[in-house]
Structures are given as structure tokens and as C-alpha cells.
Amino acid sequence: MILAIILRYENISEEEPFNCRYYLTEYFKNIFDKYNILLFPIVSEKNIDKICNICDGLIVTGSAVDIHPRYYNENPIKGKKYNIDEFKLDKKVIELFANHNKPILGICGGLQSINVCFGGSLNQAIDNHDLGNTLHKVAIKKESFLDKIYHRNEIMVNSFHRQSIKNVAPGFEIVAISDDKTIEAIEKNNIIAVQWHPEQMVDFSFFEYFIKTVSNK
């Protein structure tokens, strides 16, 4: 199995001249090594048609930058920094894989990209959710993909985000929500996305479900 995965850009000024780089956290490498799955990195719009043809599914990873609100018809917050090019890449890749009916997994910023890509919007700034390793509870909708993974009506998850879903994209179903009503997971057909970081939690059950989804497509 080959899974495409979108890498994220960073600029570490103190490491010039090698400061500009694309990265993937070790968590993903370790998890998919366990299942002998090849991760195919995406860093640009070049040849994404060929990448889609050879890959069985897509992972849209988290990001340290925010999606520009012009993509969901809102004005930016004054002084806030956005990365326009990053979402442009996400959107093209997500739409391509969706048009080919290939399974897509979104994680944290990846959930936000998926939601905006299909017509949803975001809360541009939220409080008390960039908690690091602190866990909080989310309620799971019965018969959702999360219910099939955990067989429980609530689980504990981590939290590393400054934005969240405001209006969910048409056709998507909200399948997990936190006590303060933050939308924590959505799904539509073979597209699933969560606001937390299951890779950081080393949640093999979660990724086994997605691998099975890809295998059964």
C-alpha cells in the first residue's frame, strides 16, 4: 500500500543556509513503518496527477499556520499571519483524491483544510485548546467511524489547535464534539478527519481503521 502524505513547510532562521525545509514528524514514520506502508511525500503541485494514480489514499497532516479566511469569505484578523500557498496545495490535492474516490484522512489542520475545501468555515481564533499533552473528553456519535474504532460513546484526546470548525462543509457529518461544543471530527463517505493528533498519541487502532478503509476501497 502507498499513501500520499502532505509535508509541511518551515523556516528556521537560525539554521541558515539550510533553514527552509519540508518536514514530517517521526510519529507518522514509525506508525506506518509498523504496517509496512510506503508514505509518498507531497511538497508541490507538480505531478500530483501521477502521485494520485500510484497512491491508494491521502493523509492531510496538521500545520503550524492558519488558512487565510478569504477561502471561506471572511476578513482576516489584523496582524495575524497566514500562508496562502499551503492551503492552495491542500485544496488541489484533496479535490484530486476526492474526485478519484480515494480515501482521505485529515488530522488537526488537515481537518480544517478538508472542511474549508468543501465549503465550510472556521473559527479564526479560539481559547483554551492549544493544550499540548493535556487530554480532554470528546463525545462520539453512534455508528460513526470513531464508534467503529473505539466502541465507546466518549474518548480522551489531545489538543494542539488555535482554530476550529465554525460551519461544517455541506454533506459532512459531525461525529465527535467536545464539552465546549468544539467540533472534533467529521466524515463523509471515505473522507474522515479529526481535530486531535492520533499519531502523537500513537493510536494504532485509529490508523488500522484508516488502512482497512483504504484496503477496502
What confidence score (pLDDT) does residue 160 get? 83
Query: Rounded to whole angstroms, what are the CA distances from 72 to 125, 165, 203?
Result: 15, 11, 32
Per-residue pLDDT at 13 exceeds 80: no
| Of 2-11, 174-183, 188-197, the least confident | 2-11
Secondary structure letter of residue 109 according to DSSP: H
In the chain, % of residues over pLDDT 90: 76
What is the distance between the alpha carbons of residues 81 and 137, in angstroms, rounded to a whole number? 30
Q: Is 191 exposed, middle or buried (0-12, 13-18, 19+ CB in 10 A)?
A: buried
* Average of per-residue pLDDT values in the chain: 92
Range of the domain at 158: 2-215
User: Model pTM?
Assistant: 0.94
Q: Over the stretch 20-49, which tens digit does the pLDDT of each residue have?
A: 788 899 999 999 999 999 999 999 999 999
Query: Which grid coordinates belong to 115?
Result: 472542511
pLDDT at 161: 80
Name which of 164, 159, 162 is nearest 131 in CA terms: 159
Question: Which residues carry out catalysis?
Answer: 108, 197, 199
Burial of 12 (0-12, 13-18, 19+ CB in 10 A): exposed
Alpha-carbon Rg for the chain, nearest whole angstrom, is 17
What is the share, in percent, of the chain residues with pLDDT greater than 70?
97
How many angstroms separate the CA atoms of 139 and 81, rounded? 32
Helices 26-34 and 204-215 sit at what angle, rounded to 10 degrees? 60
- Give the mean pLDDT of 92-103: 98
Residue pair 29/37 in contact (Cβ under 8 Å)? The answer is no
CATH number at residue 103: 3.40.50.880
Scanning 59-107, the segments in alpha helix (DSSP H) are 84-99
Is the pLDDT at 129 greater than 80, yes or no? no
Number of domains in the chain: 1
The yes-or-no verdict on residue 106 having pLDDT over 80 is yes
